[in-house]
Structure 1
Amino acid sequence: MSKPRSLALPPRTRAYRLVTARGGFAVLDREAVGAARGTVLLLPGYTGSKEDFLALLGPLGEAGYRAVAVDGRGQHETPGPRGRAAYRRRALALDVVAQAAALGDGPVHLLGHSFGGLVARAAAELAPDAFVSLTLLSSGPGRVNRPQRVRVRALRGALALLPKEQVWRATRWLDSRGEEPDVTDPPEIVAFLRRRWMTTRIAQLSGAGRLLLGDPDGTAALAALPMPLHIAYGDEEMVWPTAALAAAAALTGAHHTVLVGAGHSPNVSHPEELAARLTAFWDLAAQVSTASSGAARSRPAAPGAAGRGLAGTG
């Protein structure tokens, strides 16, 4: 989960329901300033929402990118079914493909933060032609670390046994004993976090947790994708092992960005720097896409800089 520091909408940002072939999804849509350089679809993480990208929307728009952050099905302001089947990997991936199509800008850049990276990978595998590039932000093709697996199992177990309000209070109490005590949160942020928790479907929280716990190492599938890849994270990342993320970047030939001083949510803590790194990658990815237009895109035979054409470390 990311915790926004402000709930103010950036200039030129609209909040509305994006109508797609698979239903409506709550979005924050930040228009590009000047000549549009592309469109990016932003997927939030576990227990998060579109507001996780509020600090990032402005810099992306100023850089010439239309940036659209979305609540997935059952997440915060997007309705969702109660049934377990609605939150399987393929169902969530089909939603993302429909969202990209509904934006009406052709293939888009796709970014998934944390759990959103798992969904983004699934969408890219399902419909690669819908996306110009794929960025995994604080997210890997491998498993989350052991403390996070324990935490997710405990949360799913609590939701199955206890009232949602009680689980919320317990979660906040645990946070207050850790790195982010309640006293650091302004009242409006606490109110927002509670509202987001209460409006998110239990089935979504349980289903997303199940996918996080059961997600196999997807490095091989990621390497097979026919699009430019980007793996970005902070050097203080605490959900995925940074060594595993670096290894995945090397094995897939992905562009590789490490933000110094950032933790699990560079989109909140380092939005300006992250935006600069992202837009530089997307500019290069668009050049690759343009150069290969008119021919079928295929995965390069070998990983690394020569294979992807974009590999590098920031």
Structure 2
Amino acid sequence: MSRISYWSHFTPESRSAAGQRMRSFVAKLTEEGHTVTLLGGGYQSGLPTWRRLLEEARRTLTTRAQVHIVSLPPYRSAIVQAVLMAILPGRRLIIDQRDLVLAAAPELERRLERAFIHRADALIVTTQAQRREMARRYGKLPPTTLIRNGASDDLATLPESLHSRRRGEGRLRVLYQGLVGGKKLKDVTMRLAALGCDLDLAVFVDTWSQNEVEAIERSWNGVGSLTIHANRDARQLARLMDGADVALNPIPSQMDYAFTVKTADYAVRSLPQLVIGSRRSVSRRAVELCRLGHAIDTVEALDKTALLQTMERFQRRTPDALRVFRRETHGPRLLRLLQEIGR
């Protein structure tokens, strides 16, 4: 069996999609007898950046892993891993590419992405559209494996709570759950405040997003309520979803290639979702084709009519029909990948 080190910006305990993916990978690897050492995630401990980077470097050097898995982005947090993978001989590198560097990102981010791709022995992507975009950027890619995103296992299996949705009676209750950055949440919340909605923001809050969350809270001036739910567990998230009328699913235009965990999470909880973003988005096309809700192009199009159409166009499905949105079984594909790069 292999000695494996796994680096991520997040920890397995994180409620982010990256944390969920990490838990799934690590559980299967250890179940199959591999030794897994977790690196990274140290920013959540509040350590100064220089101490965190030194600690990650020390652990990477002393682990003596045969295979190194790096989950990306963010790339700026992985700069130590990039340097060490360039100089350490004999270590196989697998890139778990959950997302791509945005066009507006600093040059350092784009250089790190390019360096990791060129160094990798194998690459994991979440959609075929993502693979095509990476090939467009960098030409020939390392051997690539598709492991799709899907609903969080815990959200998919929890029974529906007794909260009843009001379906447009009185003030609408709207939910957003997920990360804060890059979603124009302040613009979205100001539109909802003007519409008189109640809004639940179930967000992952860390030192990088704290200021944005506080700015959203200060700017709220609606007759409805704004409630911030920071870093909630699966049971709490399921309860919030079961009590909402509509979920928001903003997709930045640079993420056309992505099928997000959020899209699947809303689907398995049978919550109508309103996609805000590019018409080419994989998530948007899934919502429209599968009648999971409604889609609009811009935040400026967010009004009461869009919210009501989201509920009207939603088609409830049986549990068996919702299985298509469940997370793929990651373990077998990851194990086959380890066998292939070990040859």
Q: TM-score range by the shorter chain?
A: 0.3 to 0.5
Which one has more relative contact order, counting CA pairs under 8 Å at least 6 apart?
Answer: 1
TM-score by length of 1: 0.41
TM-score by length of 2: 0.38
For the pair shown, the structure with the greater C-alpha radius of gyration is: 2
